[in-house]
């Protein structure tokens, strides 16, 4: 009997179409993202799940799936899945590292530059007719922060953090780094977290969201940041205390922020960051180029096919 695999969204690229040679595939066709209750229903009797970072697969759901043999997520981050619950049953979890590194570093730098130079604010000013109405231009008109010569602190100097560091060096920035586990990284001055926060004009987050990193950038750590610094987050919203960040941005303690990820997504209307003019916002699009998303989908398919063949996944998050 063929195994049953549920795919929670249509994926881009060609490779995913090969899945049906190995199993019975059922794909959620929408409209929109699958709800938690529909996911629970669709997964009954499934041996495998191909999912997105928007699908929350927690222990209570995993416990209802005695046949489950693998999950393959089209994401590098796996915080939407209870990895410990999978580990207890020896269930492999596929993810997509590597292919999104440069794309996510580009997004990080786009947000960093946009926040430093107030690009979103300026765009709104022109688009909404304020420029015409006020007939204004002055030497301090939309002045921002210099990037060249500034210090960038990278929290999490893994593959994406290092790709951001390469961009920063090309822009004439000095780079400091911090990792949870002490390790040296060629070309990056590794320092204590407190020192990084105190000395950096820009801080960029590149650590995964885990029990250890949830809320790492809390009110205490935000207060340590250099006055007038800029925070960029393309990692996960849960790493930052969003209320403390919003308060620091509103008071002027921090100059600006570029935020691609939120504790709750889609971000609720009452998130305090949405009301601030000095925050550049994006809807979790760090890896969103056509090519990168196709490459991620291909790896997702490869991981699922390997599991169906009884082989080790090429990219397993819980080996
Ligand atoms: C991931 O894959 O985890 C990223 O957040 C997508 O941009």
Residue 262, domain CATH: 3.40.50.720
Q: Is the pLDDT of residue 186 over 90?
A: no
Taking alpha carbons only, the member of 27, 78, 34 closest to residue 48 is 27
pLDDT tens per residue across span 72-107:
999 999 999 999 999 999 999 999 999 999 999 999
Ligand 1 near 237 CB (within 6 A) = no
Domain hosting 262: range is: 101-281
Ligand 1 near 234 CB (within 6 A) = no
pLDDT at 164 (0 to 100)? 98
Cβ-Cβ contacts under 8 Å for 216 (sequence gap 6 or more) = 155, 207, 239, 240
Ligand 1 near 77 CB (within 6 A) = yes
Q: Are residues 131 and 91 in the same domain?
A: no
List beta partners, residue 153: 176, 203
Q: Are residues 34 and 179 in the same domain?
A: no
Domain count across the chain:
2
ipTM exceeds 0.90:
yes
pLDDT at 136 (0 to 100)? 86
319 occurs within a structural domain: no
- With the most atoms of ligand 1 within 8 angstroms of its CB, the residue from 75, 93, 105 to mutate is 75
Q: Are residues 85 and 38 in the same domain?
A: yes
Q: Are residues 270 and 172 in the same domain?
A: yes
Q: Are residues 23 and 128 in the same domain?
A: no
Residues, the chain? 319
pLDDT tens per residue across span 119-178:
999 999 999 999 999 888 999 999 999 999 999 999 999 999 999 999 999 999 999 999
107 occurs within a structural domain: yes
Let me know if 121 is a catalytic residue.
no
pLDDT at 23 (0 to 100)? 98
pLDDT tens per residue across span 249-296:
999 999 999 999 999 999 999 999 999 999 999 999 999 999 999 999
Residue of 80, 95, 284, 315 with catalytic role:
284
Q: Are residues 203 and 296 in the same domain?
A: no
Q: Are residues 210 and 232 in the same domain?
A: yes
Q: Are residues 153 and 228 in the same domain?
A: yes
274 occurs within a structural domain: yes
Q: Are residues 51 and 124 in the same domain?
A: no
- 279 C-alpha to center of ligand 1: Å? 21
316 occurs within a structural domain: no
Q: Are residues 95 and 108 in the same domain?
A: no
Q: Are residues 13 and 95 in the same domain?
A: yes
- 287 C-alpha to center of ligand 1: Å? 6
317 occurs within a structural domain: no
Long-range contacts of the stretch 261-266 (C-beta < 8 A, 24+): 261/233, 261/234, 261/235, 261/236, 261/237, 261/286, 262/237, 263/237, 263/238, 264/237, 265/54, 265/237
User: What's the CA dihedral at 157, 159, 165, 168 to 10 degrees?
Assistant: -140
Q: Is the pLDDT of residue 182 over 80?
A: no
Q: Are residues 301 and 165 in the same domain?
A: no
Question: Measured between alpha carbons, how far is residue 317 from residues 191, 248, 313 in Å?
Answer: 28, 35, 9
CA-derived radius of gyration, the chain: 21
30 occurs within a structural domain: yes
314 occurs within a structural domain: no
86 occurs within a structural domain: yes
Pairing relation of β-strands 70-73 and 48-51?
A: parallel
């Amino acid at each position: 009997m063929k195994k049953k695999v549920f795919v929670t969204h249509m994926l881009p690229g060609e490779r995913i179409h090969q899945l049906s040679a190995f199993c019975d595939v059922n794909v959620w066709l929408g409209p929109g993202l699958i709800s938690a209750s529909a996911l629970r229903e669709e997964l009954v009797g499934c041996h495998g799940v191909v999912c997105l970072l928007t699908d929350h697969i927690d222990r209570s759901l995993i416990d209802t799936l005695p046949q489950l043999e693998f999950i393959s997520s089209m994401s590098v981050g796996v915080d939407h899945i209870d990895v410990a619950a999978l580990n207890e049953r020896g269930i492999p979890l596929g993810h997509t590292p590597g292919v999104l590194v440069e794309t996510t570093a580009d997004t990080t730098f786009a947000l960093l530059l946009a926040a430093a130079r107030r690009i979103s604010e300026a765009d709104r000013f022109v688009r909404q007719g304020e420029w015409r109405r006020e007939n204004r231009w002055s030497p301090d008109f939309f002045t921002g922060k210099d990037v060249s010569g500034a210090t960038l602190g990278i929290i999490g100097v893994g593959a994406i953090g290092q790709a951001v560091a390469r961009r920063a060096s090309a822009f004439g920035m000095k780079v400091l780094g911090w990792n949870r586990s002490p390790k040296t990284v060629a070309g990056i001055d590794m320092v204590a977290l407190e020192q990084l926060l105190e000395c950096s004009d820009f801080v960029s987050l590149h650590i995964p969201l885990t029990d250890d990193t949830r809320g790492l950038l809390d009110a205490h750590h935000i207060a340590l940041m250099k006055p007038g610094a800029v925070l960029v987050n393309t990692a996960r919203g849960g790493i930052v205390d969003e209320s403390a960040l919003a308060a620091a941005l509103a008071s002027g303690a921090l100059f600006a922020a570029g935020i691609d990820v939120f504790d709750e997504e889609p971000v609720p209307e009452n998130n305090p960051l949405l009301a601030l003019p000095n925050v550049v916002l994006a809807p979790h699009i760090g890896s969103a180029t056509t090519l990168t998303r196709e490459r991620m989908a291909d790896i997702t398919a490869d991981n699922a096919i390997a599991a169906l063949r009884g082989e080790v996944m090429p990219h397993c998050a819980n080996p």
